[in-house]
Chains A and B, each alone.
Chain A
Amino acid sequence: MNDQQPQVASGSRADAVIKTTSPAYNRKRTEGDNTLVELPWIGKINLRGNPEDSRFVEKIKSVIEVELPLESNTQHHNNSVTVYWLGPDEWLIHCKIDRVQELMAELGSQLSSIHHAVTDVSDYYTVLQIQGPNATTLLRKGCPLDLHPEVFKSSHCSQTRFGHASILLHKLDSSTFNIQIRWSYTEYLWDYLVTALDAVDR
Chain B
Amino acid sequence: MNQKNRLEQGGRLNRTKPIRFWYDNKGYEGYAGDTLASALLANGVNLIGRSFKYHRPRGIFSAGSEEPNALVQLEKGAYTEPNRRATEVELYEGLTACSQNCWPSVNFDIGAINSVLSRLFPAGFYYKTFMWPQSLWMTYEKFIRKAAGLGVSPMEPDPDSYDKTYAHCDVLVVGGGPAGIQATLAAGKVGARVMLVDEKNVFGGSLLSDNVEINGISTQEWIDQQLNELRKLENVTLLNRTTLTGYYDYNFLVANQRVNEHLGSNQSGNAPKERLWKIRAKQVVLATGAIERPLVFADNDRPGVMLANAIRTYIHRFGVLPGKEITILTNNDSAYYTALDATEAGAKVVIVDIRHNPGGELFEKAEQAGIKFITNSTITGIDYAKGKIRQVEIMQLDGDGQGVTGSKSQLPCDLVGVSGGWTPTVHLYSQAKGKLKFLDDKHCFVADTETPNKLNQNNPSFSVGACHANYGLRDCLIKGFDAGKSAAQAVGFETTEITSEISCNEPESAPIRPLWILPCDHPVGKGKKKHFHELHNDSTVADIELAAREGFESVEHVKRYTTTGMGTDQGKTSNLNALSVLSNLRNTSIPAVGTTTFRPPFTPLTLGSIVGQERRELFLQKRKTAMHPWHDRNGAVYEDVGDWKRPFYFPTHNESMHDAVQRECLAVRNSSGLLDASTLGKIDLQGRDVSKLLNLLYTNAWSKLAPGKCRYGLMLNEHGMVFDDGVTTCLKENHYHMTTTSGGAARVMSWVEEWLQTEWPDMEVYATSVTEQWAVASLNGPNSRKILEKLTDHPIDDESFPFMSMREMNIADIPARVFRISFTGELAFEINVPARYGLALWEAVIQAGKEFDITPYGTEAMHVLRAERGFIIVGQDTDGTVTPMDLGMDWIVSKKKGDFFGRRSFVRSDTARERRKRLVGILTEDPNIVLPEGAHLVEKLKDKPPMDMIGHITSSYMSPNVGRSIAMALVKDGFNRKGQSFHVPLIDGSSQKVTLTDPVFIDT
A residues with CB within 8 A of B? 3, 6, 9, 11-13, 16, 18-23, 40-41, 46, 48, 89, 115-125, 137, 140-141, 143-146, 148, 151, 163-165, 182-185, 187-188, 191-192, 195-196, 198-202
Contact = CB atoms under 8 A, between A and B. Distances in A.
B617 interface: yes
B622 A117 contact: no
Given A185-B623, A187-B624, 15 more contacts: A11-B837, A16-B813, A23-B835, A48-B686, A119-B768, A121-B768, A121-B770, A123-B835, A125-B772, A141-B166, A146-B280, A148-B168, A164-B621, A188-B622, A198-B270
Given A21-B626, A188-B621, A115 B764 contact: yes
Contacts of A41: 836
Contact of B165 (A48, A141, A148): A141
A68 B164 CA distance: 37
A-B residue pairs, 3 tightest by C-beta: A117-B766, A184-B623, A123-B835
A184 B632 contact: no
Contacts of A192: 613, 618
A16 B840 CA distance: 12
B772 A151 contact: no
Contact of B840 (A20, A117, A148): A20
B644 interface: yes
B625 interface: yes
A184 B814 contact: no
Nearest to A146: B168
Contacts of B839: 6, 19, 21
A21 B813 contact: no
B618 A184 contact: no
For the complex, would chain B's binding face be called helix, strand, loop or mixed by DSSP majority?
mixed
15 contacts: A3-B629, A19-B840, A21-B839, A21-B840, A41-B836, A119-B686, A124-B769, A125-B772, A144-B278, A187-B622, A187-B624, A188-B621, A195-B618, A199-B161, A199-B270
Contacts of A120: 770, 773, 834
B688 A184 contact: no
A122 B644 contact: no
B163 interface: yes
A162 B163 CA distance: 14
A196 B271 CA distance: 10
B270 A121 contact: no
Given A140-B165, A144-B166, A121 B632 contact: no
Given A163-B618, A165-B621, A18 B813 contact: yes
Interface residues of B, number: 56
A115 to B, nearest CB: 5
B773 A202 contact: no
B894 interface: no
A9 to B, nearest CB: 8
A184 B622 CA distance: 8
B814 A191 contact: no
A141 B168 contact: no
A76 B557 CA distance: 62
A117 B687 contact: yes
A18 B772 contact: no
B620 interface: yes
A200 to B, nearest CB: 7
B684 interface: yes
Contacts of A23: 624, 626, 835
B773 A123 contact: yes
B766 to A, nearest CB: 4
B167 A140 contact: yes
Given A48-B768, A196-B613, A199-B161, A22 B836 contact: yes
Contacts of B165: 137, 140-141
A122 B161 CA distance: 37
A148 B618 CA distance: 26
A123 B834 contact: yes
B621 A185 contact: yes
Nearest to A143: B166
Interface in B603-637: 613-614, 617-618, 620-626, 629, 632-633
A40 B836 CA distance: 10
A193 B766 CA distance: 34
Contacts of B687: 115, 117
B472 interface: no
B838 interface: yes
A148 to B, nearest CB: 6
A20 B686 CA distance: 28
B838 A21 contact: yes
Contact of B814 (A12, A119, A187): A12
Interface string B269-288: 01110000010100000000
Contacts of B766: 48, 89, 115-117
For A3, A115, A192, the residue with the greatest tally of chain B CB atoms inside 10 Å of its CB is A115
A114 B838 CA distance: 34
Nearest to A192: B618
A119 B837 contact: no
A72 B621 CA distance: 29
A124 B834 CA distance: 8
A201 B270 contact: yes
Contacts of B617: 188, 191
Nearest to B774: A123
Given A20-B837, A202-B270, A188 B618 contact: yes
Contact of B272 (A13, A122, A199): A199
Nearest to B813: A16
B443 to A, nearest CB: 42
A138 B620 CA distance: 19
Interface string B741-778: 00000000000000000000000101011111111000
A140 B618 contact: no
Contacts of B671: none
Contacts of B613: 141, 192, 195-196, 199
A52 to B, nearest CB: 13
A3 B193 CA distance: 44
B810 A12 contact: yes
A16 B621 CA distance: 36
B768 A183 contact: no
B236 to A, nearest CB: 13
Contacts of B768: 46, 48, 117, 119, 121
A151 B491 CA distance: 14
A122 B773 contact: yes
Contacts of B271: 199, 201
B815 interface: yes
Interface in B639-659: 643-644
B813 A13 contact: yes
B689 to A, nearest CB: 9
Given A21-B839, A200-B270, A119 B684 contact: yes
A148 B235 CA distance: 10
B220 to A, nearest CB: 28
A115 B280 CA distance: 41
B814 A11 contact: yes
A124 B626 CA distance: 11
Contacts of B774: 123
A124 B764 CA distance: 24
Nearest to B260: A201
A151 B290 CA distance: 36
Contacts of A144: 166, 278
Contacts of B167: 140
B578 to A, nearest CB: 39
Contacts of B193: 148
Contacts of A140: 165-167
A199 to B, nearest CB: 6
Nearest to B684: A119
A118 B768 CA distance: 9
Contacts of B815: 12
Contacts of B814: 11-12, 18
B166 A21 contact: no
A21 B627 CA distance: 9
Contacts of A202: 270
Contacts of A198: 270
